[in-house]
């Protein structure tokens, strides 16, 4: 039997968690990087002096320059007390001194030895993990100062020697690659933000319309019941109709929230098949769950079961696929002002398949290659463009396929084909 923790221990844990949350909340990224750099430099500078001086002696070593480096790094341990301007100045001075100046100077004074060639390259890699403009400024200033200092100490000939010159293109290539990688990460981050923005825009659009309808119906009811003279049978019927509309809009919002949550979960979770799913059962469940606007819209959808079949997948993710396809089909019918939706479960076909057919507006031929592309939406502003892409990703994870056959102005048929279910790994 487990005994509860003592109250003092619980309070200590809670206080520790709150302190950590407070620390991470107020500590910005630049300060954390300065603290990390300062900690490593304060330990590394004296440690490597001992290593290169006593264990693996190098041709040249200098204690005064290392002590200056240790001092600069030690100052960085107080970065939390720095102002933003002071922090930027500290970074420029310290980075310029340690990585380009000190490492380049030691590289030249040790006549381009293997140890210092590799050390200088590593130093440049670390340097260009900071802001690119800061790193370039530090690189130019520090490298220039190191070359001047080496020449002043009689090593000017080393500057144009083959061992030094052959390192220059390697260093410049490394700098170019690191800079390009940072640009790629920035572009990827922007794409993620764009995707997030599109998703949030879809949520806002999908929920704003029913909320507006609910608000209008509630205001109508308030006006009706604050008017003492308005109590006719017609008013009562209008009130019932308004309440029914409110109920539908609330159901619709709940459905949309469910769909967004299911889709978000599908993006994060493991998509591999974990159970055997009945196609007829999951289609019927979706049809019962979908918030049709009225009985007329519900009658537009017909289910035809030629032969049921089972497949290896996940019930919850099957619901995501079918809800997306049904929603898209009904939107197409609404846009076209005509058409019906037919869902065919065809287990007699080889391979077993599900057909989603709408006789609405179809899809233009030039749009067909792009409909499963993430963030692509047709028509524009018709959604976030993640529904069909997610459907295809799930189907591929089940070794199944989804494709579309369409004729503009006439029909669109989504064909989902499944392999025969194998034993599901546990």
Predicted TM-score (pTM) of the model is: 0.47
Angstrom distance (rounded) from CA 287 to CA 413: 18
Specify the CATH number for 273-417; select among 3.40.50.800, 3.40.50.300, 3.30.70.1350, 3.30.565.10.
Answer: 3.30.565.10
Average pLDDT of 246-252? 65
At residue 89 the predicted structure's pLDDT band, cuts being 50, 70 and 90, is very high
Q: Which of 172-176, 379-383, 396-400 has the lowest mean pLDDT?
A: 379-383
User: Rounded to 10 degrees, what is the CA torsion of 169, 175, 181, 187?
Assistant: -120
CA dihedral 324, 325, 331, 335 (to 10 degrees): 140
- Write the DSSP string, 289-332: HS--SSHHHHHTEEEEEEE--EEEE-HHHHHHHHHHHHHHHHHH
User: What one-character DSSP code corresponds to residue 425?
Assistant: P
Average pLDDT (348-356) is 94
Which parts of 27-113 fold into alpha helices (H)? 29-50, 63-76, 84-96, 103-109
> With 80 as the cut, is the pLDDT of residue 11 above it?
no
Is the pLDDT reported for residue 248 higher than 70? no
pLDDT computed for residue 182 by the predictor: 78
Q: Where are the domains of the chain?
A: 7-165, 191-257, 273-417
pLDDT in tens, 267-310: 555 788 989 999 999 999 889 878 787 888 899 999 999 999 99
Predicted pLDDT of residue 369: 84
Least confident of 157-161, 187-191, 359-363, 385-389: 187-191
The answer to whether residues 128 and 135 touch, using CB atoms and an 8 Å cutoff, is yes
pLDDT at 226: 60
- Strands, DSSP E only, in 209-309? 275-278, 301-307
Cis status of the peptide bond prior to 324, with omega within 30 of 0: no
Mean pLDDT of 329-342: 92
- Whether 20 has a pLDDT exceeding 50, the answer reads no
387 pLDDT band, cuts 50/70/90, is: confident
Q: What is the SS3 assignment for 129?
A: coil
User: Among 127, 41, 39, which residue's Cα sits nearest to residue 80?
Assistant: 39
Task: Name the pLDDT band for 1 (thresholds 50, 70, 90).
Answer: very low
The SS3 of residue 4 is: coil
Instruction: Classify burial at 217, counting beta carbons within 10 Å of its beta carbon; exposed 0-12, middle 13-18, buried 19 or more.
Output: buried
Q: Which of 197-211, 296-310, 362-376 has the highest mean pLDDT?
A: 296-310
The predicted structure's pLDDT at residue 253: 67
Q: Is the pLDDT of residue 199 over 80?
A: no
Query: Is residue 98 within 8 Å of 72, Cβ to Cβ?
Result: yes
What CA–CA distances, in Å, run from 380 to 73, 367, 383? 54, 11, 8
pLDDT of the residue at 190: 61
The confidence band for 316, taking pLDDT boundaries of 50, 70 and 90, is confident
Whole-number Å distance between alpha carbons of 41 and 241: 74
pLDDT at 376 over 80: no
Lowest mean pLDDT among 128-142, 146-160, 218-232: 218-232
Predicted confidence band at 388 (pLDDT cuts at 50, 70, 90)? confident
* pLDDT tens for each residue of 91-139: 999 999 999 999 999 999 999 999 999 999 999 999 998 888 899 999 9
| The pLDDT value given to residue 254 | 63
Residues 41-74: tens digit of each pLDDT: 999 999 999 999 999 999 999 999 999 999 999 9
Label residue 339 by pLDDT band (50, 70, 90).
Answer: very high
């Amino acid at each position: 039997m487990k005994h509860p923790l003592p109250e003092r221990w619980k309070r200590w844990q809670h206080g520790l968690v709150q302190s950590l949350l407070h620390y991470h909340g107020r500590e910005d990224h630049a300060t954390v990087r300065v603290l990390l750099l300062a900690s490593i430099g304060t330990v590394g500078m004296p440690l490597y002096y001992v290593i290169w001086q006593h264990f693996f002696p190098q041709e040249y070593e200098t204690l005064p320059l290392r002590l200056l480096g240790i001092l600069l790094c030690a100052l960085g341990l107080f970065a939390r007390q720095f102002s933003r301007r002071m922090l930027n100045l500290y970074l420029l001075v310290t980075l310029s001194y340690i990585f380009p100046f000190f490492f380049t100077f030691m590289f030249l004074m040790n006549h381009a030895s293997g140890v210092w060639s590799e050390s200088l390259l590593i130093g440049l890699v670390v340097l260009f993990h900071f802001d690119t403009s800061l790193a370039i400024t530090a690189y130019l200033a520090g490298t220039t100062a190191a070359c001047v200092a080496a020449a002043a100490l009689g090593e000017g000939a080393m500057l144009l020697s083959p061992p030094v010159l052959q390192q220059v293109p390697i260093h410049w290539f490394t700098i170019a690659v690191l800079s390009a990688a940072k640009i790629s990460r920035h572009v990827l981050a922007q794409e993620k933000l764009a995707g997030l923005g599109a998703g949030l825009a879809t949520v806002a659009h999908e929920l704003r319309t029913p909320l507006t309808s609910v608000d209008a119906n509630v205001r109508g009811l308030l006006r009706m019941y604050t008017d003492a003279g308005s109590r006719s049978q017609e008013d009562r019927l209008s009130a019932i109709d308004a309440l029914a509309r409110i109920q539908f809009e609330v159901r619709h919002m709940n459905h949309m929230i469910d769909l967004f949550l299911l889709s978000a979960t599908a993006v994060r979770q493991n998509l591999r098949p974990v159970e055997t799913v009945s196609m007829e059962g999951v289609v019927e469940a979706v049809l019962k769950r979908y918030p049709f606007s009225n009985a007329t819209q519900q009658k537009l959808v017909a289910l035809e079961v030629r032969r049921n079949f089972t497949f290896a997948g996940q019930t919850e993710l099957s619901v995501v696929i079918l809800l997306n396809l049904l929603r898209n089909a009904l939107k197409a019918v609404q846009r076209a002002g005509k058409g019906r939706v037919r869902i065919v479960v065809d287990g007699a076909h080889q391979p077993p398949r599900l057909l989603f057919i709408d006789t609405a507006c179809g899809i233009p031929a030039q749009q067909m290659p792009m409909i499963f592309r993430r963030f692509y939406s047709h028509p524009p502003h018709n959604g976030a463009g993640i529904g069909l892409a997610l459907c295809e990703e799930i189907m591929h994870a089940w070794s199944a396929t989804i494709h579309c056959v369409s004729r503009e102005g006439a029909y669109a048929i989504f064909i989902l084909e499944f392999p025969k279910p194998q034993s599901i790994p546990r």
